[in-house]
Amino acid sequence: MTAQWHPQANMSQVSGNELVFARGEGAYLFDEAGRKYFDAPASLWYCNVGHGRSEIAEAAATQLRTLESYSNFENLSTRPTLDLAERVTAMSPIGEAKIFFTSGGSDAIDTAAKLARRYWSALGCPAKTGIVSRDLAYHGLHAYGTSITGLDANREGLGPLVPDTYRVATNDSSDLDALLADKADTIAAFFCEPVMGTGGVIPPAPGYLERVQQLCAAHDVLFVADEVITGFGRTGKLFATELFGLDPDLIVIAKGITSGYLPLGGVIASRRVWEPFYAPGTDLVFRHGITYSGHATACAAAMANLDIIERENLVERVAELSPVLHELARGLDSHELVSEVRTGVGLLAGIQMRNPDIARRVAAICRDEGVLVRVITNGTLQLSPPFVAEAPELRHATEVIGQAISTVSSQVESVG
Ligand code: PLP
């Protein structure tokens, strides 16, 4: 039995049955036996620049040899952290932004929720503590993320979680409208993934994001864009905020800032939110921080990752490659076992299978054929390849998926 207790795993099935990866190169992985796999989900939506980038390894090694990291609490910092903060706030669609660094997305969600509450109490509205999120939302699995997820399985068996959280319908603003009309005085923020990821790759309905943002503005509720997946190019723009013309008060980031080479996340704050904390002479302190907030080596890796994204024009590449992926994914729609194909925004596609068991069987065949596909909520196959994938590789991957669906179809027919 393996000592490693895997995340989101039934250990009775996983123990001793691991697929162990040994190395990666571009959009491919190699297991310990030397078998090659196309990485269709880019691991957990993050390996945007592709695997095996020695430039990032060198940048991290140089920083590790110089100074691995140091506390960023109070007035301490390290140069890569300050430089990355300047760079990300300059890139961010929020003008005059500041950034609070964390170790990953779930930390950043906790940070954003606490910051939203602290902001309102600083402004003399301590009753504004509620956090609203949406059905099928995924905001990581720390205590706040677990409390506000719209994926109920992630809350099962845990008992009471953070109070004052509310869930509204996805892609239907009338629910939020009704909630805010009734309770806005007690609500701090609305959290929203511009394109829902783990909930099944669900793009926003036309006009929906604009409408919920208007509602938040009208009711004095902070609008928080969770761009952990969409940030740093996944939608063909640097941020989905730009793509949809949004004006969030906070943007949550992680994954793509380092392409996963080292763990890092953050919350980008608008002037509205940071101003009271930066006001000359204020006593106000955001009493929050984690040991690896702004870790120097993670920040050095992020700088090298952003260099690659810029130098290789990878965001433009996503914009060019996305329609290719969308068309290939939509080609799978004709299979009877596929109930819906969700595409339309960025290098993302969700192939909704009839049920999770069918999705798992399809993914298992794909894996045997050298294509890694991840099964997410309700039996969706997640396609979110590295930005460096080539069109013929996407074609091959979708062909393998199509053949796997046909194989499962014939098995289902022969049983049924
Ligand atoms: N928010 C979104 C939209 C995510 O997809 C994720 C992770 O997949 C998170 C937050 C949590 O990030 P992490 O797993 O780095 O804690």
List pLDDT tens digits, range 171-199.
Answer: 999 999 999 999 999 999 999 999 999 99
Q: Whose CA is nearest to atom 7 of ligand 1?
A: 140
Q: Whose CA is nearest to atom 12 of ligand 1?
A: 105
pLDDT band for 151, please (50, 70, 90 cuts).
Answer: very high
CB of residue 43 inside a 6 A radius of ligand 1: no
Pocket test for ligand 1, best of 142, 229, 264 (most atoms within 8 A of CB): 229
CB of residue 314 inside a 6 A radius of ligand 1: no
- The minimum-distance atom of ligand 1 relative to the CA of 107 is 16
Q: Give the bridge partners for 342, in sequence order.
A: 350
Q: Whose CA is nearest to atom 6 of ligand 1?
A: 140
CB of residue 240 inside a 6 A radius of ligand 1: no
Contact 294, 81 (CB under 8 A): yes
Tell whether the model's pLDDT for residue 415 goes beyond 80: no
Contact 39, 396 (CB under 8 A): no
Gap from CA of 106 to ligand 1 centroid (Å): 6
What whole-number distance in Å separates Cα of residue 94 and Cα of residue 253? 13
CB of residue 236 inside a 6 A radius of ligand 1: no
pLDDT band for 412, please (50, 70, 90 cuts).
Answer: confident
pLDDT band for 1, please (50, 70, 90 cuts).
Answer: confident
- Residue 308: what pLDDT? 98
Q: Over pLDDT 90: what percentage of the chain?
A: 98
CATH fold of 54-309 reads: Aspartate Aminotransferase; domain 2 (3.40.640)
Q: Whose CA is nearest to atom 11 of ligand 1?
A: 140
Contact 76, 70 (CB under 8 A): yes
Question: Where does 247-390 have alpha helices with state H?
Answer: 271-278, 296-311, 314-330, 356-368
What pTM value is reported for the model?
A: 0.98
Pocket test for ligand 1, best of 106, 110, 111, 147 (most atoms within 8 A of CB): 106
pLDDT band for 416, please (50, 70, 90 cuts).
Answer: low
Mean pLDDT for the stretch of residues 163-176: 97
Gap from CA of 228 to ligand 1 centroid (Å): 6
Contact 224, 241 (CB under 8 A): no
Please give the structure tokens belonging to residue 84: 């990355």
Distance of CA 332 to the CA centre of its chain: 25
Number of neighbouring beta carbons within 10 Å of residue 218: 12
CB of residue 104 inside a 6 A radius of ligand 1: yes
Cα distances from 263 to residues 19, 257, 266, 319, in angstroms, run 22, 9, 11, 26
List pLDDT tens digits, range 292-305.
Answer: 999 999 999 999 99
What are the boundaries of each domain within the chain?
Answer: 11-53+312-415, 54-309
Answer whether 11-53+312-415 and 54-309 agree in fold. Answer: no
CB of residue 254 inside a 6 A radius of ligand 1: yes
Gap from CA of 416 to ligand 1 centroid (Å): 39
What whole-number distance in Å separates Cα of residue 405 and Cα of residue 332? 9
- Residue 359: what pLDDT? 98
CB of residue 228 inside a 6 A radius of ligand 1: yes
Please give the structure tokens belonging to residue 224: 């928080």
Torsion of CA 54, 310, 299, 98, to 10 degrees: -170
pLDDT band for 16, please (50, 70, 90 cuts).
Answer: confident
CATH fold of 11-53+312-415 reads: Aspartate Aminotransferase, domain 1 (3.90.1150)
